[in-house]
């Protein structure tokens, strides 16, 4: 009985001690993607909601909801947790507000490096970094006498060797689902080849070249070493493949490592799973990967009181040393006090190797969309690489014209 009482008291004071933001009014409604680190962040923000209304929507379909929901006035959400790419449509349509004054007033725990500024205006506050890097099964590699691959050429050689040894039918995996995921793999590989998506800073496309062809050929080689259903596999699907022990080398988001390495699933596979640096390609020295940040933005079409309440709650989370200490293995936090663990290897190596951030350009979304649907036929073997790249450029130009970029 005494024990229970003590626990209860502890809980009571514990919550009181956490709720130090003293928010008196306003309402907070958050739209965010759905992975563990974001859930932790939102939970941390909730700790200090005070007497404000607090609602959250975690959805993998967040990209589809965001623009319509924030266009409404008043907007459905007061906070949108976005990334390099998803902040662009919000800025294009002028749906998020600068928060310089709020940062000055309430953002004392936030580090300078966390601020995303456009022309001096703070448009987002980042709290975690992300990238796609290699995951390897050390046991399978050792058994076949393969060193940990550093380039995609080595990945192909290693996967071929594993297949030839009869160990696995489909030793490689990456999220090649037609659409956004596949386009993202192209973006990574093309940047790894040193490619630029647009001609000298303008909006004219620039992918139908030798680097583009090399990119597609590498994607095809990797696809041939993957489960034949690769065009339907997203990050979640390849994670399942990995956990079933069907895959020895995989390219996956750093933010997914948490659920991959938890106690669920085969302990042997988990123990042999190693996170390593992203691979380079084509003799290049920067990794074939893009750097991403996740941060929060504030909706423009929402009252100032709601924006203030939302900022204070989110800023509490985005500067919480307790949170980054407790959830150190969920993400590579950009928050002060974060000590990188073994699961941060991918991102830290990527930064060290000079990986480029995903291009935050107003017309990039159109290019990404065109890539996702037009390179499929090449991978299926129905089209030449040149034709596929020509199709991408043509599809992009048509869309860019309709949107007024060309």
Partner 1 sequence: MPNRSFFWFFFPAGLAMILFIGLPIISTGIQSFYAQHDQILIEVKKCDPFGCKTSVVVDQEATSKIKDEKPLGKFNGFGTYIDRNHLATDQVSEFWNESKSVGEFIGKVGNLPFYKALLFTLTYCVIVTPCVLLLGFIIALSLNAISRKIRGPLIFGTILPMIVTPLVGSLVLFWMIDAEGIIGANLQILMDDPYLSVKSSKALTWITIIIYGVWHHSPFAFVVFYAALQTVPQEPLEASIIDGASRFQRVKHIVLPHIYPVVTFVALISLMDNFRVFEPIIGFSAEGSAQSLSWLIYDNLVNEEVILFGSAAATSIMTIVGISIILTPVLLRTWKEFRTNR
Count, residues near partner 1 per rule CB under 8 A: 67
User: Residue 382 interacts with partner 1 (CB under 8 A)?
Assistant: yes
Using the minimum distance from each CB to partner 1, give the nearer residue, 169 or 199: 169
Could you tell me which of 288, 87, 63 has the C-alpha nearest to residue 189? Answer: 288
Q: Shortest distance, CB of residue 52 to partner 1, whole angstroms?
A: 28
Q: Is 377 in the site for partner 1 (CB under 8 A)?
A: yes
Query: Binding segment for partner 1 among 43-51, 144-152, 316-324, 382-390 (CB under 8 A)?
Result: 382-390
165 binds partner 1 (CB under 8 A): no
Is 360 a binding residue for partner 1 by CB under 8 A? The answer is yes
Task: Please report how close the Cβ of residue 241 comes to partner 1 at its closest, in angstroms.
Answer: 9
Considering beta carbons, is residue 185 or 383 the nearer one to partner 1?
383
CB of 199 to partner 1, least distance (A): 13
Instruction: Characterize the bridge pairing of strands 249-253 and 132-137.
Output: antiparallel
Site string for partner 1, 186-225 (x = CB under 8 A): ---------------x-x----------------------
Rounded distance, CA 148 to CA 68, Å?
A: 45
Residues 276-315 that bind partner 1 (CB under 8 A): 291, 293
**Chosen residue from 169, 199, 268, 352 binding partner 1 by CB under 8 A:** 169
**Which is closer to partner 1, CB of 19 or CB of 178?**
178
Minimum separation from the CB atom of position 18 to partner 1 (A): 27
Q: Cα separation of 299 and 67, whole Å?
A: 10
Q: Does 227 bind partner 1 (CB under 8 A)?
A: yes
- 33, 44, 78, 85: which one binds partner 1 (CB under 8 A): 85
Of 221, 140, 209, give the one whose Cα is nearest residue 174.
221
Instruction: Name the residue nearer to partner 1 (CB basis): 53 or 61.
Output: 61
Among 148, 151, 180, 274, binds partner 1 (CB under 8 A): 180
Residue of the chain from 48, 159, 334, 371 that contacts partner 1 (CB under 8 A):
334
Instruction: Report the distance separating Cα 131 and Cα 173, nearest Å.
Output: 16
| Shortest reach from residue 329's CB to partner 1, in Å | 20
SS3 string, the chain, reads CHHHHHHHHHHHHHHHHHCCCCCCCCEEEEEECCCHHHHHHHHHHHHCCCCCEEEEEECCCHHHHHHHHHHCCCCCCCEEEEECCCHHHHHHCCCECCCHHHHHHHCCCCCHHHEEEECCEEEEEEEEEECEEEEEEHHHHHHCCCCCCCEHHHHHHHHHHHHHCCCCCCCEEECCCCCHHHHHHHHHHHHHCCCCCEHHHCCCECCCCHHHHHHHHHHHHHHHCCCCCHHHCCHHHHHHHHHCCCCCEEEEEHHHHHHHCCCCCCHHHHHHEEECCCCECCCCCCCCCEEEEEEEEEECCCCHHHHHHHHHHHHHHHCCHHHHHHCCCCCEECCCCCCCCHHHHHHHHHHHCCCEECCCCCCHHHHHHHHHHHCHHHHCCCCCHHHHHHHHHHHHHHHHHHCCCC
Q: Among 48, 126, 214, 250, which residue interacts with partner 1 (rule: CB under 8 A)? A: 126
Question: Residue 36 and residue 334: Cα distance in Å, rounded?
Answer: 16
Nearer to partner 1, 47 or 391 (CB): 391
Place of tokens 């596979």: 269
Binding to partner 1 by residue 253, rule CB under 8 A? no
Listed ranges 187-195, 249-257, 275-283, 369-377: which one lies at the site for partner 1 (CB under 8 A): 369-377
Nearer to partner 1, 19 or 116 (CB): 116
Binding mask 86-125 for partner 1 (x = CB under 8 A): x-xx-xx-x------------------xxxxxxxx-----
Report in angstroms how near the CB of residue 237 gets to partner 1 at its nearest: 9
Backbone angles phi, psi at 217, to 5 degrees: -65, -40
Kindly list the residues in this chain that would bind partner 1 in the complex (CB under 8 A).
63-64, 67-68, 84-86, 88-89, 91-92, 94, 113-120, 126, 129, 169, 177-180, 201, 203, 227-232, 291, 293, 334, 351, 357, 360-363, 365-366, 368-369, 372-373, 376-377, 380, 382-383, 387, 391, 394-395, 397-399, 401-405
């Amino acid at each position: 009985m005494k024990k229970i009482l003590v626990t209860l008291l502890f809980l009571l004071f514990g919550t009181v001690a956490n709720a130090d933001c003293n928010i008196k009014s306003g309402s907070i409604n958050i739209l965010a993607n759905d992975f563990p680190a974001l859930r932790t962040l939102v939970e941390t923000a909730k700790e200090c909601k005070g007497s404000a209304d607090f609602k959250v929507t975690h959805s993998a379909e967040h990209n589809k909801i965001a623009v319509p929901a924030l266009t409404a006035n008043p907007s459905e959400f007061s906070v949108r947790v976005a990334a390099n790419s998803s902040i662009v449509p919000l800025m294009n349509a002028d749906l998020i507000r600068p928060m310089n004054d709020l940062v000055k007033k309430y953002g004392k725990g936030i580090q300078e490096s966390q601020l995303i500024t456009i022309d001096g205006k703070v448009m987002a506050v980042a709290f975690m970094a992300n990238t796609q890097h290699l995951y390897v099964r050390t046991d399978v590699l050792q058994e076949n006498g393969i060193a940990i691959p550093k380039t995609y050429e080595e990945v192909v050689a290693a996967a071929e060797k594993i297949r030839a040894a009869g160990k696995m039918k489909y030793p490689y995996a990456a999220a090649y689902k037609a659409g956004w995921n596949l386009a993202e793999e192209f973006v990574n590989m093309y940047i790894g080849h040193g490619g630029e998506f647009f001609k000298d800073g303008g909006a004219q496309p620039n992918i139908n070249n030798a680097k583009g062809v090399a990119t597609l050929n590498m994607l095809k080689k990797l696809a041939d070493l993957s489960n034949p259903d690769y065009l339907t596999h997203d990050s979640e699907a390849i994670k399942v493949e990995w956990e079933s022990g069907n895959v020895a080398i995989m390219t996956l988001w750093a933010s997914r490592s948490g659920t991959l390495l938890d106690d669920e699933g085969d302990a042997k596979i988990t123990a042999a799973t190693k996170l390593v640096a992203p691979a380079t390609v084509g003799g290049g020295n920067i990794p074939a990967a893009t750097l991403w940040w996740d941060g929060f933005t504030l909706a423009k079409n929402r009252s100032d009181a709601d924006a203030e309440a939302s900022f204070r709650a989110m800023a509490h989370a985005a500067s919480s040393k307790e949170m980054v200490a407790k959830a150190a293995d969920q993400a590579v936090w950009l928050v002060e006090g974060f000590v990188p663990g073994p699961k941060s290897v991918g991102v830290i190596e990527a930064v060290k190797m000079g990986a480029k951030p995903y291009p935050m350009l107003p017309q990039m979304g159109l290019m990404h969309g065109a890539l996702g649907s037009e390179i499929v036929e090449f991978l299926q073997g129905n089209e030449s690489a040149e034709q596929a790249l020509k199709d991408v450029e043509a599809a992009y130009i048509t869309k860019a014209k309709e949107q007024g970029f060309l």
